[in-house]
Amino acid sequence: MNGSSSSSGDWHDRYYHVDQILDRPGPRTDPSFLAGDEVKDFLRNKCKILVIGAGGLGCEILANLALSGFKDIHVIDMDTIDISNLNRQFLFRQKDVGQPKAIVAAEFIMNRVPGVKVTPYYGKIQDKDDDYYLQFNLVICGLDSVEARRWINATLVNLVDPENPESLKPLIDGGTEGFKGQARVILPTVSSCYECSLDMLNKPTAFPICTIANTPRLPEHCIEWASVLEWPKVHGDKKLDTDDPEHIGWLYSMALARAKEFKIEGVTWSLTQGVVKNIIPAIASTNAIIAASCCNEAFKIATSSAAYLNNYFMLIGTDAVYSYTFEHERRAECPVCGGESLDITISKEWTVDRLIEMLVEKQDIQIKKPSLASGAKHIYFQAPPQLEEATRPNLEKKVSDLIPDGGEITVTASSLPFSLSLRINYS
């Protein structure tokens, strides 16, 4: 064989397949595409990519990125491996149960795909600051939590600095449920963001509490009765740990007893666990499709080798294969990427009251009764009365005593679709 392994782990023809795409443009390729060595050098030596989540999607994403030629990959995950992960999270084995996902996944990829560096972080995405996220060219998300997705989305939108083009990090987000899934490309402040589409999400199933209390008909009603009403009644402030088999066992037997009392069939351990943990069915094949789609977009965006998804792809595999690709539109009233922003310059002597007066008078923004805060610091709230009273003394204070030069103020008012963000400069 002529393939000798170099220090970077590459051998002749290693990228025979990928290079067919990188060596020449296609009909839909952007003119800025630099075919050949330049794009390969960027992809393999310069590009730094962050993968959030090392679970069902994360395992697939890491493997695809490594084979595609990304060599500097970082991965964050706060979870440890559970036995129920093994039906799809293919970088983990029985012996790894209990170990941190990020670390085991990173080691596996580095062993299997030589020359690829995967840097794991076992912890929360919220542990990391702006500088950490600024080091990456791209971010791919394979998460099962709405809250974590909202956080990273808001963080990347807020990272965009008008003076620094490098601050705009494309975010590629994937999600699956059973045979269904979606992949999307978010260009923060340019295209629709995760928060813009929050109302598209299925809300978690919740049953009316009086049904649970009095007229249970389904096994789920009995389980909810056990977890929502009986657990706090019997255990007081002790928190229900849905990962503790003893807690699930307790709920199961309570739900079973109630089901028998009401002659309802179908309460099982598995259903109990499914209801209280809100378990979403997950299989390797759907994760493979969505993760491949995410990585394919990352590859195209990183290399400019082909047009990329604009901007939402959803797939339903339950009834044949149905997919829908569309452009999700930005929402003007989006609390993260929508809303107005304004640079204002005021005198250092101005009081908060004077600033509010100025905002109300300003013809182009039309604010009535604005409330002002800076991060967690409340500057002036119009309501409720207690908070109005508590913040009223600030009206007489100088803005410059509360906000540093270049500091930010979030303004909310009923006349604003969501909020206005002010950057204060002093003359």
Partner 1 sequence: MIKIWSMKKNEDAAARRKPKTSAAQIRVQKDLTELDLPPTMKTHFPDPTDLLNFTLTITPDEGMYMGGAFVFSFAINNNYPHEPPKVKCTHTIYHPNVDLEGNVCLNILREDWKPVLNLNSVMVGLQYLFLEPNADDPLNKEAAEELRKNREQFLYNVKSAMRGGVIKGTHYDKVAVQ
Partner 2 sequence: MLKTESIDIEQATTHIQAQPDNKTRRYDRQLRLWAASGQAALESARLLVISASATSTSILKNLVLPGIGHFTILDPKKVTPADAGNNFFLNGHSSIGKFRAEEAVSLLRELNDSVDGIADLRNLDDILAKEDGREWIQSFSLVIAHNLDQDILDTLSQLLWENPTSPSLIVHNGALPKTYAEKQAFKANIRNLSQKLDEENFEEAEAQAFRLWSESPVPSDISATLNLPRLDQSSSTSSTAFHALLQTLRAFINSPESSGCLPLTSTLPDMKTDTESYVKLQIMYKEQAKGDNALFKTILKKEFPDLSIDEAMVDAFVKNAHHIKVLRGRRWGTWDKDPASLGPANITEEALRTEVQSLVGQGVELPEQLDDAIGEIARAPTADLPNSAAFLGGMVAQEAIKMITKQYVPVNGYCVIDLVETWTGIVGQP
Residues labelled catalytic: 210
145 lies in the binding site for partner 2 (CB under 8 A): no
CB of 321 to partner 1, least distance (A): 28
Size of residue set near partner 1 by CB under 8 A: 73
Three-state DSSP state, 389 = helix
**Listed ranges 50-58, 275-283, 374-382, 392-400: which one lies at the site for partner 1 (CB under 8 A):** 374-382
Nearest approach in angstroms of CB 288 to partner 1 is 25
Which residue number, 93 or 238, has a Cβ lying nearer to partner 2? 93
266: left (phi over 0), alpha (psi -120 to 50) or beta: left
Which among partner 1, partner 2, none contacts residue 425 (Cβ within 5 to 8 A by kind)? none
In the list partner 2, partner 1, none, the entry touching 382 (Cβ below 5 to 8 angstroms by class) is partner 1
Q: Closer CB to partner 2, residue 202 or residue 363?
A: 202
Site for partner 2 contains 183 (CB under 8 A): yes
Q: Quick check: 227 binds partner 2 (CB under 8 A)?
A: no
232 counts as binding partner 2 under rule CB under 8 A: no
The answer to whether 36 contacts partner 2 (rule: CB under 8 A) is: no
Distance CA 214, CA 384 (A): 37
**282 CB-side CA count, 13 A:** 22
Q: Which of 39, 51, 54, 63 binds partner 2 (CB under 8 A)?
A: 63
- Which secondary-structure segment (H or E) carries 175? strand 171-177
Choose which of 301, 315, 356, 367 interacts with partner 1 (CB under 8 A): 301
Helices (H), 113-208: 130-134, 146-159
- Structure token digits, residue 1: 């064989």
The reply on whether position 257 binds partner 1 by CB under 8 A is no
Residue 147 lies near partner 1 (rule: CB under 8 A):
yes
| Site for partner 1 contains 310 (CB under 8 A) | no
Q: How many residues bind partner 2 (CB under 8 A)?
A: 104
Selected from 117, 354, 378, 397, the binder of partner 1 by CB under 8 A is 378
- Contacts (CB under 8 A) with partner 2, residues 299-318: 299-300, 306-310, 313, 315-318
The reply on whether position 32 binds partner 2 by CB under 8 A is no
Residue found by looking up tokens 């229900």 in the block: 240
Regarding 13 and contact with partner 2 (CB under 8 A), the answer is yes
- Quick check: helix, strand or coil at residue 386? helix
Instruction: Give which of 109, 120, 31 is closest to 68, Cα–Cα.
Output: 109
Among 314, 382, 398, 402, binds partner 1 (CB under 8 A): 382
Work out whether 50 is an interface residue with partner 1 (CB under 8 A). no
The full DSSP string for 22-59 is HSS--TT--TT--TTHHHHHIIIII-EEEEE--SHHHH
Taking CB under 8 A as the criterion, which residues in 335-354 touch partner 1? 335-336, 341-343
Site for partner 1 (CB under 8 A): which residue of 189, 242, 296, 351?
189
Asked if 369 contacts 388 with a C-beta cutoff of 8 angstroms, the reply is: no
Q: Which of 56, 170, 174, 175 lies at the binding interface for partner 1 (CB under 8 A)?
A: 170
When asked if residue 99 is in the footprint of partner 2 (CB under 8 A), the reply is no
The amino acid at residue 41 is D
Binding to partner 1 by CB under 8 A, coded x per residue (else -) over 70-109, reads: ----------------------------------------
267 to 286: interface string for partner 2, x by CB under 8 A: --xx--xx----xxxxxxxx
Burial of 414 (0-12, 13-18, 19+ CB in 10 A): exposed
- Nearest residue to 121 (alpha-carbon basis) of 171, 151, 173, 78: 78
Please give the Cα distance from 184 to 193 (Å, whole number).
10
Residues 204-223, interacting with partner 1 (CB under 8 A): 204, 206-210, 213-214
By the rule CB under 8 A, 173 interacts with partner 2: no
**Chosen residue from 253, 351, 400, 410 binding partner 2 by CB under 8 A:** 253
Separation of alpha carbons 295 and 302, rounded Å: 10
Length of the chain (residues) = 427
d(CA 408, CA 321) in angstroms, rounded, equals 48
7 C-beta neighbours (distance < 10 Å), count: 6
Q: Do residues 115 and 45 make contact, with C-beta atoms less than 8 angstroms apart?
A: no
Q: Which positions ≥6 away from 333 have C-beta within 8 Å?
A: 339, 417, 418
Q: Choose which of 129, 263, 376, 383 interacts with partner 2 (CB under 8 A).
A: 263
Q: For residues 339 and 321, give the distance between their C-alpha atoms in angstroms, rounded to a whole number.
A: 38
Answer whether 269's CB lies under 8 Å from 252's CB: yes
